[in-house]
Structure 1
Amino acid sequence: MTVKPDQNGAGRAARGEDRFARRFPAEPYAVREALRAAVARFARRISPEDAGALELTLAEVLNNVVEHAYGGCAGGQVDLALSHAGSALCCRIEDRGRPMPHLAIPEGALPPTGVAVATLAEGGWGWSLVRGLTENLTYERDGDRNRLTFRIPLDAV
């Protein structure tokens, strides 16, 4: 399939799927810019609620890549690919950072209710959000590459 990129690194595939692809440094500012561009690419084609789900999911995952996969290592790259196909956005994120612990996506369980906020551990809850906003969430370590794929179902197409 042929994709013609536009000035923002996005393209329209020959069979009519909207696509976005970007490679960027694993740095907070670059994540913010890629996130902004990805959401802008699809914002006029999806509902505001779906755009919010896309933004939140990508922010959680991409910030985890920067903080955990590459934490303390300079020069890492992240590959982000999105396609709008029918009633979902299909997402793929790849990096060459550290693998996920136990080569598995963290459970990301939410804390029990009725617990004092001051006693709660920091972090780890983002995966609960990601799991709740996506479907077909998969992780694999292929050689020295991490690959995370998922779909974000769209309410209004």
Structure 2
Amino acid sequence: MTTEPAAKTEAAGQGTTPGGDLFRAAFIAEPIAVRDALRGAVARFARRITTEDAGALELALAEVLNNVAEHAYAEMQPGPVALYLRRAGGDLHCVIEDRGRPMPGLALPERQLRTVATTIDDLAEGGWGWALIRDLTADLAYSRKDGRNRLTFRIPLTAR
């Protein structure tokens, strides 16, 4: 019996842009597949970017991909996700597409941080993700067309 990898990934050495590294992954929005795609993406660029930039990439992608799995496909059969990353110049350009539910109001959530609780029992479990994503990325944009969600952003890289 053979098992398929949770995330099917393809890493290309050079893209059409001089020095532009590429990473693509197609997977089902399930925790193991999300983890595998995230690992692959970070591993693809880890030696080409600073540790801080790799951390920003990992955190931003983890927040977005987990939101897709938990919210876009909530109460549905987990569906397909496509992840595309391209390094061009001083940026990593990211595109994430899925066929889950649309964002409420067809818009990105506002940049809101919850009030920090004064006791551990009152500490909010969630609500920090979109603020983190907005802090780590630039040119964050969402669109929905033909039943497909598309989120694009870039991560500005520091000089290495």
Q: Does 1:80 align with 2:99?
A: no
Q: Does 1:14 align with 2:6?
A: no
**Alpha-carbon deviations, 1:15-66, whole Å to 9, x = none?**
3211101100110000000000000000010000000000000000000000
Corresponding residue to 1:111 among 114, 118, 121: 114
- In the superposition, the TM-score normalised over structure 2's length comes to 0.88
Deviant stretches of 4+, over 4 Å: none
Q: Does 1:146 align with 2:149?
A: yes
> What residue in structure 2 maps to residue 52 of structure 1?
55
% same residue: 60
Q: Does 1:156 align with 2:159?
A: yes
Residues 108 and 124 of structure 1 are in contact (CA less than 8 Å); yes or no, is this contact kept in structure 2? Answer: no
Shift of 1:122: 3.0
Q: Structure 2 stretches of 5 or more lacking a match?
A: 1-7
What is the distance in 1 between the residues matched to 2:70 and 2:151? 16
- In the superposition, the TM-score normalised over structure 1's length comes to 0.89
What is the distance in 1 between the residues matched to 2:90 and 2:15? 17
Corresponding residue to 2:97 among 77, 94, 97: 94
Q: Structure 1 stretches of 5 or more lacking a match?
A: 1-6
Corresponding residue to 1:42 among 45, 51, 54: 45
What is the distance in 2 between the residues matched to 1:14 and 1:114? 49
